[in-house]
Amino acid sequence: MLRIFSRIMVKVGKMNHSDQVRSCQLVKPVQVILVSDRCLNQQKGLPRVPVPPLWKTCEGYLSALEPIIEEDELKRAKQLVEVFMKGGGVGEELQRSLERKACNTDNWTADLWGKLEYFENRSPVVINTNLPIVCPRLDFRDKQGQIRCAAKIIIALLEFKTTIENETLPAENLGGKPLCMEQYSQLLSTCRIPGLVRDSVVFHAKSANPPKHITVVYNFQFFVVEVYHNDGTSLTVDQLCVQMERICNFTSATNTEPVGILTTLNRDSWSKAYLSLMKDQTNKESLSAIERSIFTLCLDRAIPRESDKYCTCDFHLITHGGGSQWNSANRWFDKSLQIIVAEDGSWGLNLIHIVTDGTVIMAFTDYLVAYMKKPEMIQASILPLPMPQKLHFSVTPDIKEIIEQAKRSMDGNIRNFGLSVMVFDHFGKNDLKAHNMSPDAFIQMAIQLAYYRMNKQVCASYEAVSQRMFRHGRVSLLLSTTSVSAAFVKAFDDPEKQNTEKIDLLQKAIKTHKENIKVVTGGHDIVAHIIALSLQAVENKIPMPDIFRDISYKKFLNYQLTTSQVTSNTGSVAVHQVDECFGYSSCYSVHNSHFVIEMAASNTDKRRSTHHLIQNMKDALLDMRALLEQTPRAT
> pLDDT of 283-297, one tens digit each?
999 999 999 999 999
Q: In whole angstroms, what is the distance from residue 348 CA to residue 339 CA?
A: 6
Q: Report the DSSP pairing between strands 221-226 and 213-218.
A: antiparallel
Torsion angle of the four alpha carbons 44, 49, 51, 55, in this order, in degrees rounded to the nearest 10: 140
pLDDT digits (tens, 9 = 90+) for 346-405: 999 999 988 888 888 998 999 999 999 888 776 666 678 999 999 999 999 999 999 999
The DSSP bridge pattern shows strands 213-218 and 296-300 to be parallel
- Domain range for 341: 124-416
Q: Measured between alpha carbons, how far is 140 from 142 in angstroms, rounded to an integer?
A: 6
Three-state secondary structure readout of 367-402 = HHHHHHCCCCCCCCCCCCCCCCEECCCCCCHHHHHH
Three-state DSSP at 145 gives helix
Please give the mean pLDDT across all residues of the chain.
87
CA separation for the pair 439, 432 (Å, rounded): 6
Flag whether 588 is in a domain: no
pLDDT of amino acid 439: 96
* Residue 204 within a domain: yes
Residue 201, CA distances (Å) to 114, 197, 290, 334 in order: 10, 14, 13, 9
**Residue 392 annotated to the active site:** no
Least confident piece of the model among 117-131, 264-278, 364-378: 117-131
Interacting residues of 27 by C-beta distance below 8 A, sequence separation 6+: 357, 358, 359, 464, 465, 466, 475, 564, 566
Mean pLDDT, to the nearest integer, of 551-567?
92
Tell me what pLDDT residue 7 has.
45
Overall domain count for the chain? 1
| Pairwise CA distance, residues 359 & 24, whole Å | 13
Of 593, 592, 597, 594, which is closest to residue 566 (Cα–Cα)?
Answer: 597
The CB density around residue 54, as the number of other CB atoms within 10 Å, is 19
* Domain presence at residue 396: yes
Among the listed residues 353, 513, 524, 591, the single catalytic one is: 353
177-178 and 337-342 beta bridge pairing: unpaired
What number is the average pLDDT over the span 126-135?
Answer: 92
Confidence label for 254 from pLDDT (cuts 50, 70 and 90): low
| Three-state SS annotation for 294-328 | CCEEEEECCCCCCCCCCCHHHHHHHHHCCCCCCCC
In a domain, 206, yes or no: yes
Domain CATH code at residue 280 = 3.30.559.70
DSSP β-bridge partners for residue 418: 601
Name the most confidently modeled range: 36-45, 177-186, 428-437: 428-437
Q: Is residue 81 part of a domain?
A: no
CA distances from 325 to 321, 330, 410, 485 (A): 9, 10, 11, 45
Q: How far apart are the first and last CA of the chain?
A: 38
Instruction: Give the pLDDT score at 41.
Output: 64
Residue 46 lies in a domain: no
Q: Is residue 330 part of a domain?
A: yes
> Is 633 within the bounds of a domain?
no
**Is the CB of residue 192 less than 8 Å from the CB of residue 204?**
no
